[in-house]
Amino acid sequence: MKPHTLSVLVENKPGVLSRVTGLFSRRGFNIESLAVGVCEEPGMSRITIVCIGDDAQIEQVMKQLNKLIDVIKVSDLTENDRVERELALIKVNAEPGSSRAEIMQLASIFRAQIIDVGSRSVVLSVAGDTKKIDALEKLLRQYGVKELVRTGTIAILRGSKTVKSAK
Amino acid sequence: MKTGAKILIEGLQREGVETLFGYPGGVVLPIYDELYNSSLRHILVRHEQAAAHAADGFARASGRVGVCLATSGPGACNLVTGIATAYMDSVPIVALTGQVPTNLLGNDAFQESDITGITMPITKHNYLVKRTEDLGHVVREAFFIARTGRPGPVLIDLPKDVSTKEIDFEYPESENVSLRGYQPTYRGHSRQIDRALELLIEAERPLLYIGGGVISSNAAEELLQFAESLMIPVTTTLMGLGAIPCDHPLNLGMLGMHGTRYANYAVTESDLLIAIGVRFDDRVTGKLDTFASQAKIIHVDIDPAEIGKNKRVDVPIVGDAKSVLKEMIARIQKKKDYEKWLARIRAWKEKYPMRYPKDGSLRPQFIIEELSALLKGEGIIVSEVGQNQMWTAQYFGFKKPRTWITSGGLGTMGYGFPAAMGAHFARPDEVVFDIAGDGSFQMNIQELGTVSHYRIPVKVAILNNRFLGMVRQWQELFYDRRYSYTELPPVDFVKVANAYGIDGMRVEDPSDVRAALSAAIETDGPFVLDFRIEREENVFPMVPAGAAINEMIGGHCE
């Protein structure tokens, strides 16, 4: 059982997301994260899904996804050389003084940006893979994380290979 | 200029639809107005569920797409069980539903229900048409999707304003449907086919395990040719009955929970299972670990998701059963002698035949045997669900594909009677029997109205035991005979039939069975037979839930 990153190319039509997520819930597959957006092809969208399962379960998920008429292609990027990113916005307690300075220092180590400063809090924006964001969140917790918003993971293959050209 | 309703009706005609089953209502008034002048024959059912089942029965009997029509809200919701039934058994139907006007969508309007949302898990695909301009190609796509690949139900939801709006529209002379996300594989991979044939040479005890996929791809002829040329015995699932003639020496009958002992023993001892158009359902496999545990498995199916879903497969072949079987036959180079294995099977058949008590009481098995003898494998046999279904599967000798119509996957009580109506319109020259229980028949008994209205010559044989028999059987065997809510009070079904203007007959004595069946067959119109059978008769043999399929109980009494 390990996380798999699935890239699902779909028709950009109403109800497609519901068809995809409905399939996961009714067949008892769990979604760890989900990200949806338009892609390079007009009229198509790409859904990136991270889900956990053994090989047989993931194979069944992919086959079931492929059966949906609006799904054009399903690829498992897990075994491929790829880059993954997710974005998090984190609102942290930051009273003026030493803690604020520490937070800014952490932000710079993690290449996070401070995108809003309030009198008693700051908002950090950080992009990276899941582990990096988890690490920053953990460090920030001592100051008090007031709110955390994360996108799902998105992924792309390294080099000139594309998901469409890959098997 | 044409209205959406006109475009819809034209579209149905272009798809070759002649008959559809439906029930009118508010938002489908424009469609019904268009039907009033059209050459399409619309059969008015008495409940929308029956429309869906009738479309399904039509599709199974004919191999063509069945069509049903209902209004929004309750009408559409009443189709749901019928659509789910068709989905589980891979039956091509197109369900048309009315919807509230687009400006009221999502507004909790009168008779609004989100039927595309509701049917998403039970359709192959569905559409909510929001623009009249899209309707023409949606109709074409819907029929294309329903009948190709692994067939299944498709629903089209039509808001009232989409039906009434007038646009300039002509169907193109010819238009190929092409969907980039839907390209079913029909031809099997030749290397896998060769590998399968190699395994057949290595094998000592091969067995063909055949399901509904062989029926729906019209591959019975190829199956027979393949089985005969290599002399491989054949067992079929409930859905596969009729794929091989019952009296063929290679036929082992049905396997699984209520299969024959010899079929289940053969599966258990087989060293190579050639599974075609099946899905290793739990009612077939029993305890999965012990199912064909000595065998290598070749699995042929048009749906890649079925291969390896429940059981690990050695040679997967994605493709249409007919095409793959043809290819296999063409590529046979060597043959092997399986005579030792065939002799072993013959010995089982002799030692463990299908039996039931013959003590002078009216037994359901006897009724089915008599019907089988009278019809000689002709006619179309439809069943309800439960004991009636299993007795029919066990004791009617099916000889041809598409002569056995039953709800296998979903197990829908109330399916048979309306499905039998649909089967009649598909093949009007055939005698159509619905084998029912008194429980199942009462689930869609209102269709006596439809049958009477159109004089549809469906014969209903009720195996009346005043119990919900299959549930009672489980209570007897596994719940210490605690018959919790399974006893039904007696109903005079002949009187009920008469009230609808339909003839009927009650039968209590075995010696009257043949005459009664003959009377029903010879009557021009519908007929209801009320057989008062032995009340606590069981379906045997039986594999208890969760047991291995060779651990069968019953069915070997004298």
- DSSP β-ladder status, B206-210 and B272-276: parallel
* pLDDT in the model for residue A164: 78
Instruction: Confirm if B157 and B80 have CB atoms less than 8 A apart.
Output: no
* Model confidence pLDDT, tens digit, residues B353-409: 999 998 899 999 999 999 999 999 899 999 999 999 999 999 999 999 999 999 999
* pLDDT in the model for residue B557: 53
Q: How far apart are CA B29 and CA B34, in angstroms?
A: 9
- Name the closest residue on chain B to residue A27, using Cα atoms: B121
**Catalytic residue from among B2, B6, B124, B160:** B160
* pLDDT in the model for residue A98: 81
Interface test with A, best of B120, B137, B185 (most A CBs within 10 A): B120
Query: Chain B within 8 Å of A19 (Cβ-Cβ)?
Result: yes
- DSSP β-ladder status, B234-236 and B251-254: parallel
For residue A151, what pLDDT band results from cuts at 50, 70 and 90?
very high
Calculate mean pLDDT across residues B131-159.
Answer: 97
CB contact under 8 A, A22 and B116: no
Calculate mean pLDDT across residues B127-138.
Answer: 97
CB contact under 8 A, B128 and A64: no
**Domain B364-532: top CATH class:** alpha beta
Put simply, the chain B residues between 169 and 208 with a CB less than 8 A from any chain A CB are 179-182
Domains and CATH numbers, chain A: 2-76 (3.30.70.260), 83-154 (3.30.70.1150)
Q: How far apart are CA B219 and CA B243, in angstroms?
A: 8
Q: What is the DSSP string of B9-42?
A: HHHHHHTT--EEEE---GGGHHHHHHHHTSS-EE
Residue ranges of chain B that CATH labels 3.40.50.1220: 190-351
β-pair partners for B66: B93
Interface test with A, best of B105, B130, B180, B307 (most A CBs within 10 A): B180
Distance (Å) from the alpha carbon of A159 to chain B's nearest alpha carbon: 26
CB contact under 8 A, B303 and A67: yes
Active site residue B1: no
* pLDDT in the model for residue B558: 41
CB contact under 8 A, B304 and A64: no
* pLDDT in the model for residue B526: 98
Query: Chain B within 8 Å of A18 (Cβ-Cβ)?
Result: yes
Active site residue B160: yes
Q: How far is CA B346 from CA B93, B241, B259, B343, B557, in A?
A: 41, 20, 16, 5, 20
Task: List strands edge to edge, sheet with B380-383.
Answer: B404-405, B380-383, B432-437, B458-464, B527-532, B503-507
Instruction: Tell the burial category of A159 from Cβ atoms under 10 Å away from its Cβ (0-12, 13-18, 19+).
Output: exposed
Q: How far apart are CA B326 and CA B308, in angstroms?
A: 23
Q: How far apart are CA B69 and CA B529, in angstroms?
A: 30
Query: Chain B within 8 Å of A11 (Cβ-Cβ)?
Result: yes
Calculate mean pLDDT across residues B171-191.
Answer: 91
For residue B298, what pLDDT band results from cuts at 50, 70 and 90?
very high
Quote ipTM for the complex.
0.91
Residue ranges of chain B that CATH labels 3.40.50.970: 2-167, 364-532
Residues contacting residue A83 through CB under 8 Å, at least 6 positions apart: A155, A156, A158
Calculate mean pLDDT across residues B538-548.
Answer: 94
* pLDDT in the model for residue A167: 54
For residue A163, what pLDDT band results from cuts at 50, 70 and 90?
confident
Quick check: B52 pLDDT over 70?
yes
**Residue found under tokens 């990276």:** A128
Measured over the CA atoms of residue B300, residue B304, residue B308 and residue B310, the dihedral's sign is negative
* Model confidence pLDDT, tens digit, residues A98-150: 889 999 999 999 999 999 999 999 999 999 999 999 999 999 999 999 999 99
For residue B174, what pLDDT band results from cuts at 50, 70 and 90?
confident
Active site residue B254: no
Which residues of chain B neighbour A22 with C-beta distances below 8 Å? 120-121
Q: Is B98 helix (H, G, I), strand (E, B) or coil?
A: strand
Q: Which amino acid is at B526?
A: P
* pLDDT in the model for residue B388: 98
CB contact under 8 A, B125 and A69: yes
- Structure tokens of B388? 């009636």
- Name the closest residue on chain B to residue A73, using Cα atoms: B181
Instruction: Confirm if A90 and A115 have CB atoms less than 8 A apart.
Output: no
**Residue found under tokens 């077939």:** B284
β-pair partners for B20: B42
Instruction: Confirm if A6 and A36 have CB atoms less than 8 A apart.
Output: no
β-pair partners for B127: B156
Active site residue B522: no
Distance (Å) from the alpha carbon of B180 to chain A's nearest alpha carbon: 6
- Name the closest residue on chain B to residue A14, using Cα atoms: B128
Query: Chain B within 8 Å of A72 (Cβ-Cβ)?
Result: yes
Among B98, B80, B76, B77, CA closest to B88: B80
Distance (Å) from the alpha carbon of A12 to chain B's nearest alpha carbon: 12
Which residues of chain A neighbour B137 with C-beta distances below 8 Å? none
For residue A166, what pLDDT band results from cuts at 50, 70 and 90?
low
Q: State the CB neighbour count (10 A cutoff) for residue A130.
A: 18
CB contact under 8 A, A15 and B116: yes
Measured over the CA atoms of residue B4, residue B10, residue B15 and residue B17, the dihedral's sign is positive
**Residue found under tokens 């005979």:** B481
Q: For B398, phi and psi rounded to 5 degrees?
A: -75, 135
B124, B303, B308 ranked by CB distance to A59: nearest: B308
* Model confidence pLDDT, tens digit, residues B66-84: 999 999 999 999 999 999 9
Distance (Å) from the alpha carbon of B407 to chain A's nearest alpha carbon: 22
Alpha carbon A25 to its chain centroid, in Å, reads 19
Quick check: B139 pLDDT over 70?
yes
Which residues of chain B neighbour A63 with C-beta distances below 8 Å? 304-305
Distance (Å) from the alpha carbon of B142 to chain A's nearest alpha carbon: 11
Which residues of chain B neighbour A18 with C-beta distances below 8 Å? 117, 120
Measured over the CA atoms of residue B9, residue B13, residue B14 and residue B17, the dihedral's sign is positive
Measured over the CA atoms of residue B146, residue B152, residue B157 and residue B158, the dihedral's sign is positive
CATH superfamily of B190-351: TPP-binding domain (3.40.50.1220)
Query: Chain B within 8 Å of A61 (Cβ-Cβ)?
Result: no
Put simply, the chain B residues between 92 and 121 with a CB less than 8 A from any chain A CB are 116-117, 120-121
- Structure tokens of A50? 């991270």
End-to-end CA gap in chain B: 73
- DSSP β-ladder status, B206-210 and B380-383: unpaired
A26, A60, A63 ranked by CB distance to B121: nearest: A26
* Model confidence pLDDT, tens digit, residues A30-80: 899 999 999 999 999 999 999 999 999 999 999 999 999 999 999 999 989
CB contact under 8 A, B120 and A22: yes
State pTM to two decimals.
0.96
Query: Chain A within 8 Å of B490 (Cβ-Cβ)?
Result: no
**Residue found under tokens 């290679």:** B250
Q: How far apart are CA A68 and CA B124, in angstroms?
A: 8
Q: How far apart are CA A4 and CA B540, in angstroms?
A: 47
Put simply, the chain A residues between 80 and 119 with a CB less than 8 A from any chain B CB are none
Q: Count of A–B CB contacts within 8 Å?
A: 38
Quick check: B341 pLDDT over 50?
yes
Q: State the CB neighbour count (10 A cutoff) for residue B433.
A: 28
Calculate mean pLDDT across residues B249-254.
Answer: 98
Q: Is B148 helix (H, G, I), strand (E, B) or coil?
A: coil
CB contact under 8 A, B181 and A69: yes
A11, A14, A15 ranked by CB distance to B181: nearest: A11
Buried b (16+ CB within 10 A) or exposed e, B193-227: bebbbebbeebebbbbbbbbbbbbbebbebbbebb
CB contact under 8 A, B128 and A14: yes
A26, A67, A69 ranked by CB distance to B305: nearest: A67
Q: How far apart are CA B122 and CA B258, in angstroms?
A: 27
CB contact under 8 A, A63 and B305: yes
CATH number of B2-167: 3.40.50.970
Instruction: Tell the burial category of B439 from Cβ atoms under 10 Å away from its Cβ (0-12, 13-18, 19+).
Output: buried
- Name the closest residue on chain A to residue B179, using Cα atoms: A69
Label residue A159 left, alpha or beta by phi (over 0 means left) and psi (-120 to 50 means alpha).
left
Distance (Å) from the alpha carbon of A121 to chain B's nearest alpha carbon: 40
End-to-end CA gap in chain A: 22
Q: How far apart are CA B47 and CA B444, in angstroms?
A: 8
Query: Chain B within 8 Å of A17 (Cβ-Cβ)?
Result: no
- Structure tokens of B125? 């695909």
Active site residue B111: yes
- Name the closest residue on chain B to residue A64, using Cα atoms: B305
**Catalytic residue from among B34, B48, B112, B370:** B48
